[in-house]
Amino acid sequence: MRVTVDEQLKKFYLAIVNMSNPKDCHWVPAIGHEIQVGKYRFSVVPASADHLIVSEVTSGVEVMNIKMSQETQVSAKKDVLDLLRSIGETSLTEIIEKNHDFDKAVANGKKRSYSMLGEMPPIEVYDMEGAAE
């Protein structure tokens, strides 16, 4: 599968679903990069200095968490993009290939998110310079 990483930062929305308290469910904005693996799109956003959340873009559903060791924490943009490409080529490709009907899983995740949270706000290009002003 072809893997691409978008260098442009975007504002994504993550689905936070609390099954025990449906009133505590909401879309949470998060800034990160997009990885495309074949026809599937994923956001990768930092949850903390050493933790990344990878979610499917159209549903906001979390696909995986990545705990970063000090050795794998990077700061240069090229290193970040290389790390994201590696995540796409290994972990995300494996998840898609092991799930015999990933399309159905995405559709079900989107249906569940939208039924509990309403429609997802639109994904936007994030202007880091404009945000700093």
Name the pLDDT band for 130 (thresholds 50, 70, 90): low
Least confident span in 7-11, 19-23, 114-118: 19-23
Number of other CB atoms surrounding residue 89 within 10 Å: 15
Average pLDDT over the chain, rounded to an integer:
88
pLDDT of residue 42: 98
Tens-place pLDDT, residues 28-44: 999 999 999 999 999 99
Report percent pLDDT > 90 for the chain.
Answer: 62
Given a cut of 60, whether residue 133 has pLDDT beyond it is: no
CA distance 125 to 44: 14
Distances (CA, A) of 124 to 10, 42, 75: 6, 14, 23
CA distance 35 to 5: 5
Name the pLDDT band for 131 (thresholds 50, 70, 90): low
CA distance 27 to 111: 14
Number of other CB atoms surrounding residue 67 within 10 Å: 10
What DSSP element (H or E) covers 94? helix 93-98
Name which residue leads in pLDDT, 102 or 80: 102
Indicate the pTM of the whole model. 0.87
CA distance 105 to 37: 15
In DSSP terms, 46 is beta-bridged to 52
